[in-house]
Structure 1
Amino acid sequence: MASFSERYKSAGVDIEAGYEGVKQMGKHVARTKIDGVVSGLGGFGGLFAPNISGMSEPILVSGTDGVGTKLRLAILMDKHDTVGIDCVAMCVNDIICCGAKPLFFLDYIALGKNIPEKVATLVSGIAEGCVQSGCALVGGETAEMPGMYQAEDYDLAGFAVGMVDKPKMVDTSTITAGDVMIALPSSGLHSNGFSLVRKILDVENADLKAYNDHLGMSLGEALLTPTKIYVKPVLACMDAVTVKGVSHITGGGFFENIPRALPKGLCAKIDVASLQIPPIFTLLAKEGDIPQAECFNTFNMGVGMTLTVNKADADAAIAALKAEGCDAYICGEVIANDEAQVVLC
């Protein structure tokens, strides 16, 4: 058996490094254990026993995503402890849009060279994302792929599974003109638009660690700020009021994502002046000479998620969100419009 491992190692795959990586990530995975976890690391599948008591019609909801070319910034800065949060966030923020509570998460890390300490650092971020969203990290896969990736390169993806009782699912068909839209502030770019960002800012040649007066931090810090996870605030809001619609603002910005939670014939009228736009977006718009409409069709512009509620419920919804540390505010309203589903005013 040893001879086979040695030959495999000579081809660029170090099995022993994989074992060491699993060993080092164990303490991070342990942080995410919640009720329902049946198995630990090392099996062929992650086992989870969901609690369906009190549910009349439990429905499993799944979501999958990656971090995209934001990983290039992590590689350039040799900082790998936050992109795991992004990976979890992009998945769990999707599945809460229908009201599902995340239960468990699995990751996939593909890399050119397996350095156990680097893999453990990546997993530490994934574990932190799971803790923030209240779900368990029940398994994953690390694939060493020389020839596909350079030694320092890697890709990171994952998927989450959650559950919701069907009668409590978000029902966008109940949205009507006069409802209000609540903005949940983003932490920055999140994990979208980085191919454009890297081109505009020429990140391969930029001094990413130099302090930037406009940003109030280094460019690298601003770009690597992890995606905000909205699970706990949104679930608390759903306990307080009836949430009629939820949109996760990712790639495609406002114009692609908000309509996904609006019935036909209705339109989100967004008050641009009300938005709390972080300086990274104004920097990109200026440096890239990007028109306003294109900015809102590419980036989240400081709004990571929108909730649609009855106008009478707006104050209670915002109070519930703020109680969970989310400084939410009204950013627009729903109007009748057969020609567009998002207008900026």
Structure 2
Amino acid sequence: MSPDSSGPQSYKDAGVDIAAGEKAVDLIAPYAKKTFTPNVLSGIGPFGGLYHLAGYKEPVLASSTDSVGTKVLLAGMMNQHETVGIDLVNHCVNDIFTLGASPLFFLDYFATGKVHPEKVAEIVRGMATACEESGCVLIGGETAEMPGIYSEDDYDIAGFIVGAVERWALIDGQSIREGDLLIGLPSSGLHTNGYTFVRHVFDLSNNPSRLEVHESDLGRSLGEALLEPHRNYYKELRSHLPQIRGLAHITGGGIPGNLPRILPSNAQATIKRDSWEIPPLFSIIQKTGNVTDDEMFRIYNMGVGMIIATRPRDTQTILNSLDDAWLIGEISSRDENKPIVEIV
């Protein structure tokens, strides 16, 4: 209806459906409430969330924010939205965990051209599931209906997390020394990075049916492999924090872009390329797109989701307790003639 049409105008005529937004809130409220702990002092509905911080002697708050990028477009193509909610939480949990922090609470932002309550609920259900697994409260969020910015079926999500760590237990990588060893932990797939390149390589905008093709090397369809949720490393590694000197979450930028973020200025890392087998999903992308090794390592985690820096005397203890971990490299003194991270 045009603005000069006869009769009263409504917000819905402009593309914003208040009733749909209210229904979405009703659908997601039970999922959020399932994550609540006694530390939560507010319910669903107030203008802000209240959280009582307890059990710490000298707490330092750790925070992070992230999104899942254009992975949401693949979720839309496959009409499977719960996994990107899991992705969002796990990515944020991993990020603050690299500082030694445990997650306290999480907030989300969902923006779309048209609110479909059931779709919103599916995504938030994934967030709540991931929050519960990490002992994190889904304390609040925002759903924004923005026609004109997004098309009706498009959406974007972002997450915001706050955690805490005792000041004396902070991990910042500055204690990493020459001779320390690096342990790799596998990723579950692409995690949340490099999906724009995937859409380009497979021409998914023009050929979305490619996602349904079964890949024998993957044992499932390409789309199913691409939507595999981001792995959460918090639960399996938190008991090892006293033995860990540094943690690098391998996200966008790959190993060369993320491992330097935890290294002291006088240190460099050598990564042994032959210490792990690159998963077939990355090989399929590389072969299809005729992509160089260097470019692949700049874009993707290449099967390595987290790298631990630890003292040699603690290495075997960690390896023995983690079924799929392996020795991936070592730390040496900085050589100005070599890159900070060298993959050999």
Say yes or no: TM over 0.5: yes
User: TM-score, normalization: structure 2?
Assistant: 0.93
- The aligned residue for residue 79 of structure 2 is 78
Secondary structure of the structure 2 residue equivalent to 1:338: coil
**Aligned amino acid, residue 104 of structure 1:** F
Secondary structure of the structure 2 residue equivalent to 1:172: coil
**Aligned amino acid, residue 260 of structure 1:** R
- The aligned residue for residue 341 of structure 2 is 342
- The aligned residue for residue 199 of structure 2 is 198
Secondary structure of the structure 1 residue equivalent to 2:55: coil
Residue 106 (structure 1) shift: 0.2
- The aligned residue for residue 328 of structure 1 is 325
Distance in 1 (alpha carbons) for counterparts of 2:72 and 2:151: 14
| 1:222 alignment partner, one of 222, 225, 230 | 225
Deviations for 1:302-338, whole angstroms, at most 9, x for unmatched residues? 111111000110111223444xxxx222111112232
**Superposition misfits of 4+ residues, deviation over 4 angstroms:** none
CA contact 1:185–1:276 (8 Å) conserved in 2? no
Give yes or no for the alignment of 1:319 onto 2:320. Answer: yes
Deviations for 1:187-235, whole angstroms, at most 9, x for unmatched residues? 0000001111110111221421221112211011011111011111221
Secondary structure of the structure 1 residue equivalent to 2:200: helix
Residue 17 (structure 1) shift: 0.9
Greater mean alpha carbon deviation, residues 292-301 or residues 95-104? 292-301
Residue 34 (structure 1) shift: 2.5
**Aligned amino acid, residue 77 of structure 1:** M
Distance in 1 (alpha carbons) for counterparts of 2:90 and 2:9: 38
**Aligned amino acid, residue 280 of structure 1:** L
Deviations for 1:91-116, whole angstroms, at most 9, x for unmatched residues? 11111111010100000000111111
- The aligned residue for residue 62 of structure 2 is 61
Secondary structure of the structure 1 residue equivalent to 2:332: strand
Deviations for 1:217-257, whole angstroms, at most 9, x for unmatched residues? 1011011111011111221221xx42111101111111110
- The aligned residue for residue 8 of structure 1 is 11
Distance in 1 (alpha carbons) for counterparts of 2:332 and 2:343: 12
- The aligned residue for residue 273 of structure 1 is 274
Distance in 1 (alpha carbons) for counterparts of 2:105 and 2:117: 24
Distance in 1 (alpha carbons) for counterparts of 2:47 and 2:185: 38
Residue pairs, 1:21-32, within 5 angstroms: 21-32=24-35
Q: How many residues align?
A: 333
Distance in 1 (alpha carbons) for counterparts of 2:153 and 2:73: 10
Deviations for 1:123-173, whole angstroms, at most 9, x for unmatched residues? 001111212222010000000111111111000001000001110011422
**Aligned amino acid, residue 314 of structure 1:** T
Secondary structure of the structure 2 residue equivalent to 1:215: coil
CA contact 2:103–2:134 (8 Å) conserved in 1? yes
**Aligned amino acid, residue 162 of structure 1:** G
CA contact 2:183–2:328 (8 Å) conserved in 1? yes
Deviations for 1:264-310, whole angstroms, at most 9, x for unmatched residues? 23221111111242211111111122221221111001111111000
Greater mean alpha carbon deviation, residues 288-297 or residues 9-18? 288-297
- The aligned residue for residue 5 of structure 2 is none
Residue pairs, 1:1-345, within 5 angstroms: 7-53=10-56, 55=57, 57-204=58-205, 205-207=207-209, 208-238=211-241, 241-322=242-323, 327-339=324-336, 340-345=339-344
- The aligned residue for residue 3 of structure 2 is none
Residue 6 (structure 1) shift: 6.7
CA contact 1:132–1:229 (8 Å) conserved in 2? no
Unmatched runs of 5 consecutive residues or more in structure 2: 1-7
Distance in 1 (alpha carbons) for counterparts of 2:136 and 2:289: 38
Unmatched runs of 5 consecutive residues or more in structure 1: none
Secondary structure of the structure 1 residue equivalent to 2:88: helix
CA contact 1:237–1:321 (8 Å) conserved in 2? no
Instruction: State the Cα RMSD in Å.
Output: 1.5
**Aligned amino acid, residue 341 of structure 2:** V
Greater mean alpha carbon deviation, residues 328-337 or residues 251-260? 328-337
CA contact 2:77–2:208 (8 Å) conserved in 1? no
Residue 18 (structure 1) shift: 1.0
Distance in 1 (alpha carbons) for counterparts of 2:36 and 2:316: 35
User: TM-score, normalization: structure 1?
Assistant: 0.93
Distance in 2 (alpha carbons) for counterparts of 1:88 and 1:297: 24
Secondary structure of the structure 2 residue equivalent to 1:141: strand
Secondary structure of the structure 1 residue equivalent to 2:240: helix
